[in-house]
Amino acid sequence: MRKITRRKFNTTLVKGLGGSALTAHMPLACAMGSKQDKKKLGIALVGLGSYSTYQLAPALLDTQHCYLAGIVTGSPDKEKIWGSKYNIPEGNIYNYDNFDAIKDNKEIDVVYVVLPNSMHADFSIRAAKAGKHVICEKPMAMNVEECDAIIKACSENNVKLGIGYRLHSEPYTQEVKRFVREKTFGNVRYISADAGYYSGSNPEQWRLNKKLSGGGALMNMGVYAIQSVIYGTGENPISVSAQEFSTRPEYFKGTDETITAQFEFKSGVVGTIMTSHNISANRLHAKCERGWFELDPASTYIPLAGRTSKGELNFKQESQQKLQMDDFAKHVLFDAPNLVPGEMGKRDMMIVEAIYKSISEGGKKQALSFESNFGFGG
């Protein structure tokens, strides 16, 4: 397993974010840390980039079953900023070198790994060995082999494992699952999903560094599109063919820019996806026997929007990260269903690897086979 040193990672991250995360001002939190009710699970965020700063930490101010108990960062500046703003005790602040000492901290129950993809396996496995439950941000790892290693470590250390697929906890996505489960519009016949954004003009961002990301658009936004066609049909695909397009090769030197893929499902459903770091796209659309349904946007934070051949969808919009982390906490505390198990992350990485293989073989169809058909109706 290739490791990225803390110093190398910090240098790359600061270049990619322009240092903005170091001085970002968040709303002043109420008393947290050790003063929290221990009926809630204490979560430690590993990696304090933009997602932790602007999404996860604010969401943890509103969660019912978990709270921000600790942080892991390679930046002394962030230690001070976060410790002050979130009232995090000094003993709950770690860096990448002393991270393993977290095993002795009874205030931290869950470790949420929010690092570049190349570091997911390392810190997820170390967290499991420390006896902490694990949430691993998507994509689960750099390859299927690393996914297996994470799943094995969590199983051997008797800790729970979830993947950072926030959409499974929000109501629009759950309504899509209901449509499929109850055949509201009959059987799905065709489904398409697009997920992408224009990455701008910063070639130093870590997502364009293959050693850190493992790939480009497919490893980032493509996972959303893959997820969409799966829960939008209620099936795992049985084959995939794929193509890659590059219109800015001077910018996307080492990672994929735009990928399209076509899926076949056992029921006869045909599915297509498009993912890109050069095209803004965010949609799920399904044609069924007796109508259609769609989400557009389908994978942004908020607001999402949906409509069907029968009319508009209208659900309460709230932090998806809040819902996601509370759902995982309920899984740990009350044995509620795990909506996003590690096996789901592994399945998606199997599909990613099949797409890359298809591209390398000129679009040749790749057969897909999975051990379980899970996560569709929750």
The β-bridge partners of 43 are 68, 110
The pTM assigned to this predicted structure is 0.90
What pLDDT, on a 0 to 100 scale, did the predictor assign at position 273? 99
Write down the domain spans for the chain: 6-164, 168-313+342-367
Q: How many CA atoms lie within 13 A of 159 on its CB side?
A: 25
Buried b (16+ CB within 10 A) or exposed e, 316-339: eeebbbbbbbbbbbbbbeeeeebb
Q: Which residue has 């969660």 as its token pair?
A: 63
For residues 100 and 102, what is the distance between their CA atoms, to the nearest angstrom?
Answer: 5
What is the sign of the dihedral through the CA atoms of 26, 29, 35 and 39? negative
What pLDDT, on a 0 to 100 scale, did the predictor assign at position 373? 60
The CATH fold assigned to 6-164 is Rossmann fold (3.40.50)
For residues 259 and 359, what is the distance between their CA atoms, to the nearest angstrom?
Answer: 9
**pLDDT tens per residue, the chain (378 residues)?**
444 444 445 444 444 443 334 333 344 444 444 444 558 999 999 999 999 999 999 999 999 999 999 999 999 999 999 999 999 999 999 999 999 999 999 999 999 999 999 999 999 999 999 999 999 999 999 999 999 999 999 999 999 999 999 999 999 999 999 999 999 999 999 999 999 999 989 999 999 999 999 999 999 999 999 999 999 999 999 999 999 999 999 999 999 999 999 999 999 999 999 999 999 999 999 999 999 999 999 999 989 999 999 999 999 999 999 999 999 999 999 999 999 999 999 999 999 999 999 999 999 999 999 986 654 433
Kind and range of the H or E element at 128? Answer: helix 120-129
Query: Do the strands 110-113 and 133-136 form a parallel or antiparallel pair, or are they unpaired?
Result: parallel
For residues 352 and 224, what is the distance between their CA atoms, to the nearest angstrom?
Answer: 11
Beta-strand ranges (E) seen in the chain are: 41-46, 66-72, 93-94, 110-113, 133-136, 161-163, 188-198, 237-245, 258-265, 270-276, 278-288, 291-295, 306-308, 311-313, 366-367
Q: Which residues contact 152 (CB under 8 A, 6 or more apart)?
A: none
Query: Taking the CB of residue 6, how many other CB atoms lie within 10 A of it?
Result: 16
6-164 and 168-313+342-367 share one fold: no
Q: Which amino acid is at 271?
A: G
Under DSSP, is residue 95 helix (H, G, I), strand (E, B) or coil? coil
Between the two ends of the chain, the Cα-to-Cα distance in Å is 33
How much is the CA Rg of the chain, to the nearest whole Å? 20
The CATH fold assigned to 168-313+342-367 is Dihydrodipicolinate Reductase; domain 2 (3.30.360)
Instruction: Provide φ and ψ at 110, rounded to 5°.
Output: -130, 135
